[in-house]
Amino acid sequence: EDGHQLWLRPHVSVPVTVVLPARTSALLATARQELQQGWQGPAGATITLSLKKDKAIKYDGFRLSAQGVQASTERGLLYGVFELLRRQQIGQAPEAGLSNPSYEHRLLNHWDNPDGSVERGYAGKSIFWRKDSALVVTRRDQTLWQQYARANASVGINGSVLNNVNASPVILSAGYLGRVKAIADALRPYGVKTYLSVKFSSPVLLGGLKTADPLDPAVVKWWQGKVKEIYQQVPDFGGFLVKASSEGQPGPQDYGRTHADGANMLADAVRPYGGLVMWRAFVYSPSDKDRAKQAYNEFVPLDGKFRDNVIIQVKNGPVDFQPREPFSPLFGALKKTAVMPEFQITQEYLGHAIDLAYLAPMWEECLQSDTYQAGPGSTVARCTNGSVYRQAHSAMAGVSNVGLDRNWTGHDFAQANWYAFGRLAWNSSAKSAQIAEEWLKLTFQNAADATPAAEAEWNAKFLTPVAQLMLASREAIVDYSMPLGLHHIMSATYHHYGPGPWWAPSGMRADWTPPYYHQAAANGVGFDRTRTGSDAVSQYHEPLASQLNDPATCPDEYLLWFHHLPWTFRMKSGRTLWDELALHYDHGVQQVRQFQRTWDRAQPYVDAERFAAVQNKLRTQSGNAVMWKDACLLYFQQFSRLPIPAAVEPPMHTLEALIKYDTPAPRPARQP
């Protein structure tokens, strides 16, 4: 198996009669087709899909019963069908009942460029754009887009942003909009809406205007015209995603205007068509003392100034998709503005398509973090899905890991992250463990494994150990790369893979270099964000702010995020900080070796192709984990001047060799 079928591998189906509502639509046809080709229930059953208004059904939710699926939207019917089939497939009783999505909009963000490259993509080129004959739509394109849309629909994803947040203005040119229409036409039968990222200066770069000032009438008119043109091509177009006044991207601040001025101008342009604007809060400037504080500082004063079809899109952590960050304090700060979480499915900082990292535990950790915004229980999930404050719209976005690779995501296990993102956006209280098991069954279990005796063996020898591997995988990466709250110490040369705590070429902006974040010195390590430091802790509500502010109560996971502490600081375990750090690095390495053994033992239960692919990747990861451990311990040891504890495997590399290994010329024009 080459992984192309994802978690939707075909099985022999059983005949079923499908009764549809009395209207025809592409989406209903899809629902029927899925039922007919995937039905594993009683032979000859009749399944009725019915559209009814029902107050208990929210958005695209559905009700399952023995008779079929009931929903108030066609999408809801399709999602109900996929749920029914999933349950049959994994041998779960077809539980009757209601299922509502936590978020109204569940979106993938593709960082795909019009030339076919993918920013932070590790699974080949773009499935949407191509350098040569970019605008010719082939049969192959259409098939691929349909398969992609189907995979999304099967986990409830209902929107795709087709291009990079570092947006090229050409995406809005007539030629490209023609291709956008073709993509939208392929995604629509699966209920996936199309969105675009836009460059704020498009009126200048594409429209030839002298300014992109959001308050300039000519600019307003240009956007209105462009929006009209888009909706002529794509009548159900979803709206815009905007990265503005961020990392060198143009924005309203270039004209002395605020983020609200910029977002509202675009929101007014799409409002007549029901469109949305997702405005990113990923902003920071080099002059500030603490990058982690900036998004909050910029957006909190604007609370209440945004139109209700604007959603502020906030990365899960305050810095940048690191292996572990505390949640962004913005989730608990805005009361009158809709806020949505943005997660990174593509593994920019978690090992690309080399390392095995199941990311659901990281997202669950964020979603379940308590902001205390309206007292205890104000989790990030509840602050963003409209439970704490009513917001006109709710959404969750994931930066996609999909590319042209045959298995879509480069690493076979990275498919689980696409799957898990959809499942968590549907149900923000879903459990990572359950999602992992579902995914493993759908992705690896064969009909032959499903007889009672074979299934017991399959569960014991494959499902349980491999699910455990998945659940431990993200923590292992944290351990061998950035334990105890360390962050942004990866190789900061362009690729962001591997260690680089030393990286700080002269002239480079400090907030793009690891030493800015780890602050290692003879007197200790870590970024002081306490009340006597940068005071980032005060962006959190009590009692969390005080808990984080005190090293005695700050959870170990976030210790060096919030504190600069002596190497000999006494940890909760009784060990010194230095020893604890070394043990974490070592544990990460040991974990990956354990993963290798687990996977080797799983061989009898996996097809040869996927077995070998994953085995090879684990081998590479294992070697790279040792590099992380050696690099960081040897680098930090220059400051701590303490011995590496005896329980830790001695370094096998020298620091000099590791630094040399990672010194290509920096690319100063881009974010490293």
User: Binding to ligand BDP by residue 120, rule CB under 6 A?
Assistant: yes
Shortest approach of ligand BDP to residue 494 CB, angstroms?
9
- The order of strands in the sheet holding 97-99 is 16-19, 45-51, 68-71, 62-64, 97-99
Q: Which two tokens stand for residue 482?
A: 């950035």
> Of these residues, 115, 247, 254, 457, which one is catalytic?
247
Q: Which two tokens stand for residue 71?
A: 């929903």
165 vs 424 by CB, closer to ligand BDP: 165
Per CB under 6 A, contacts with ligand BDP among 295-354 are 320-321, 348
Shortest approach of ligand BDP to residue 342 CB, angstroms?
8
Task: Give me the torsion for CA of 282, 283, 287, 292, rounded to 10°.
Answer: -40
3-state secondary structure 480-514: HHCHHHCCCCECCCCCCCCECCCCCCCCCCHHHCH
Shortest approach of ligand BDP to residue 119 CB, angstroms?
5
309 and 270 Cβ atoms separated by less than 8 Å: yes
320 vs 437 by CB, closer to ligand BDP: 320
User: Binding to ligand BDP by residue 360, rule CB under 6 A?
Assistant: no
Does residue 290 have an active-site annotation?
no
Does residue 479 have an active-site annotation?
no
User: Binding to ligand BDP by residue 166, rule CB under 6 A?
Assistant: yes
120 vs 193 by CB, closer to ligand BDP: 120
Q: How far apart are CA 139 and CA 130, in angstroms?
A: 14
Q: What is the DSSP string of 79-136?
A: HHHHHHHHHHHTT-----EEE--S-SEEEEE--B-TTS-BTT--SSS-SS--STTTTP
Of the candidate residues 128, 282, 327, 527, the single one contacting ligand BDP (CB under 6 A):
282
Name the H helices within 536-576. Answer: 544-549, 559-562
346 vs 576 by CB, closer to ligand BDP: 346
> Of these residues, 83, 261, 320, 528, which one is catalytic?
320
Shortest approach of ligand BDP to residue 253 CB, angstroms?
16
Shortest approach of ligand BDP to residue 519 CB, angstroms?
21
Comparing every residue's Cβ against ligand BDP, the nearest one is: 320
Shortest approach of ligand BDP to residue 428 CB, angstroms?
22
User: Binding to ligand BDP by residue 243, rule CB under 6 A?
Assistant: yes
User: Binding to ligand BDP by residue 82, rule CB under 6 A?
Assistant: no
- 338-344 and 45-51 as β-strands: parallel, antiparallel, unpaired? unpaired
Of the candidate residues 165, 490, 554, 634, the single one contacting ligand BDP (CB under 6 A):
165
109 and 397 Cβ atoms separated by less than 8 Å: yes
Shortest approach of ligand BDP to residue 247 CB, angstroms?
6
Does residue 320 have an active-site annotation?
yes
Q: Which two tokens stand for residue 243?
A: 């990265």
> Of these residues, 60, 342, 348, 511, which one is catalytic?
348
282 vs 585 by CB, closer to ligand BDP: 282
Kindly state the DSSP code that residue 668 receives in the 8-state scheme: T
Name the H helices within 325-463. Answer: 360-367, 380-384, 415-426, 432-444, 452-458
Give the residues across from 195 on adjacent strands.
Answer: 161, 239
Per rule CB under 6 A, count of chain residues that contact ligand BDP: 11
253 vs 378 by CB, closer to ligand BDP: 253
Q: Which residues are catalytic?
A: 247, 320, 348
Residues that bind ligand BDP (CB under 6 A): 119-120, 165-166, 243, 247, 282, 320-321, 348, 671
